[in-house]
Amino acid sequence: MSQPVLQLQNVERRYQQGVTALSVLRGGSFGLFAGQSVALAAPSGAGKSTLLHIAGLLERPDGGEVYVDGKPTTGMNDDARTALRRHSIGFVYQFHHLLPEFSALENVMLPQMIAGLSRHEARRRSMDLLAYLGVAARAKHRPAELSGGEQQRVAIARAVANSPVLLLADEPTGNLDPKTAEHVFEALERLVKATGLAALVATHNEGLACRMTRRVTLKDGWLIEPT
Ligand code: ADP
C-alpha cells in the first residue's frame, strides 16, 4: 500500500490548567490514505479540534509525530511547517469564513490568484469546483445571499482550490439541519473520491460518521479505530 497522506503517531497534547495538566491527547496512531474520507467522531470536548489543529500543523504536539505526505513535521521550523500547510492542507470550519464582500466565485478564485494562477485559469477551475459541488448557479452571489448548505459547499470549494492533498474539516455541518448536512457530506465524499484527496472530518454526529469510509474516535485521549 502507498504511504498515507496523513499519519499520526502517538500524538500527545497537554494543557496546563493552574497546577494540573489536562491530558487531552494521550496517544494512538492512525494513517489516512488518498481517496479516503474518515470521520473523527467523538463527543464535544473529546479533543477533536485539538487533534485537527495538530494534524493541520497549526499546533505542535507535546509528544509523538505527525507525518504529512510522508514527511515528519515536528522537527520542522515554523516557516517549513507554514509552507507545507499552505501547499498540502485545506481547512473547512463550522462557520464558513467566506469573505462577505466577494461573490462565491471570487472567494474560490482568490486563493488561486494569490498562489500565482491567472484570473482566467482561476475562474475556470473555480467554476468547475462550484459545479462539482452543486453550487455553480450561485457563483455570482455573495455569501449572505446563500443558504447555510450552499455557504459550506463554497467553503469546501475554496479549501480545495489549490489542490491540497489533505482536507481537514471541523464540524463542517454542525450548523446545518440534518438533511442539508447529509447533502454536504455526500458532496464532500464525492469530491474526495473523484480527486484522490484525503479528508479527516470531525463531527459529533454519529449518523453522518457511520456513512463515511472509515471512522476513528477519541476515547479518554486515545485515538482509536473501532472495529
Ligand atoms: P472538541 O473539538 O472535541 O470539542 P477540543 O479539542 O476543543 O474538543 O477540546 C478538548 C479539551 O481541551 C477541552 O476540555 C478543552 O477545554 C481543552 N482545551 C482546548 N484548547 C485549550 C487551550 N488552549 N487551553 C486549555 N484547554 C484547552
Given a contact cutoff of 8 angstroms between Cβ atoms, the answer to whether 137 and 184 are in contact is no
Query: Whole-angstrom Cα distance, residue 189 to residue 212?
Result: 8
Rounded to two decimals, what is the model's pTM?
Answer: 0.93
CA of 205 to the centre of ligand 1 (A): 18
- Residues in the chain predicted with pLDDT less than 70, given as ranges, are 1
Closest atom of ligand 1 relative to the 44 alpha carbon:
4
Closest atom of ligand 1 relative to the 16 alpha carbon:
25
Grid cell, residue 36, equals 479516503
The C-alpha cell 489536562 sits at: 22
Residue with CA closest to ligand 1 atom 15: 45
Task: State residue 17's pLDDT score.
Answer: 86
CA of 13 to the centre of ligand 1 (A): 10
Residue with CA closest to ligand 1 atom 20: 50
Task: State residue 12's pLDDT score.
Answer: 97
Each residue's pLDDT tens digit, 205-224: 888 888 888 999 999 999 99
- Of 36, 43, 57, 197, residue with least CA distance to 129: 197
Task: State residue 156's pLDDT score.
Answer: 95
Cα 182 from chain centre: 17
Task: State residue 205's pLDDT score.
Answer: 86
Task: State residue 1's pLDDT score.
Answer: 57
Residues within a 6 A CB radius of ligand 1: 15, 22, 24, 42, 44-50
Residue with CA closest to ligand 1 atom 23: 15
Residue with CA closest to ligand 1 atom 21: 15
